[in-house]
Amino acid sequence: MAGKLIGYHILLVEDDISSQILIEKVLTYNGASVVAMGSGEKAIDYLKDGNVVDVVILDLKLPRMDGYTVFNAIKEMLPAVPIFAQTAYIYGNEPENVLALGFDGYFSKPIDFDRLVDTILITKSSHSAK
């Protein structure tokens, strides 16, 4: 159902342009306002400039600055904003380790977009209730 994410401002940090376009299209189809950044540095600068987001979707395998470093920088600035990890490369216990580090969710590619949208809604509403 389209429109589930109306009013949500989502920062998508993804260096693979094909993945970036696909994820952005799905999120905007569902009503979200999406800003896509191709690097962790750009995402951090965007947030340092005072831009407000409700959710961050963060690729773990980024060039120069990996997703874990970006995660730590964003959590330091915006501790209440939910951050979801996503990657095409899954190693061992990575999903459990990612959640243990404080990510709010983990998605492996190819992403189940219905699950992504529903997880954003559930997580954001639980964060708002705190």
**pLDDT digit string, tens, across residues 56-104:** 999 999 999 999 999 999 999 999 999 999 987 666 667 778 889 999 9
Q: Residue 130 pLDDT > 60, yes or no?
A: no
Whether 69 is covered by a domain: the verdict is: yes
Please spell the DSSP secondary structure of 23-35, one letter per residue. Answer: HHHHHHHTT-EEE
pLDDT at 102: 93
What's the half-sphere exposure (Cβ side, CA atoms, 13 Å) at 12? 24
Domain at 68, CATH number: 3.40.50.2300
Q: 17-56: per-residue pLDDT in tens?
A: 999 999 999 999 999 999 999 999 999 999 999 999 999 9
Confirm whether 60 is domain-assigned.
yes
Q: Is there a domain that residue 56 lies in?
A: yes
pLDDT at 109 > cutoff 90: no
**What integer pLDDT is reported at residue 92 of this predicted model?**
66
> Does 4 map to a domain?
no
What domain range is 47 assigned to? 9-121
pLDDT at 5: 96
Number of domains present in the structure of the chain: 1
Residue 108 lies in a domain: yes
Please give the residue that has the higher pLDDT: either 14 or 95.
14
Specify the pairing of strand 33-37 against strand 9-13.
parallel
- Does the residue 129 lie in any domain? no
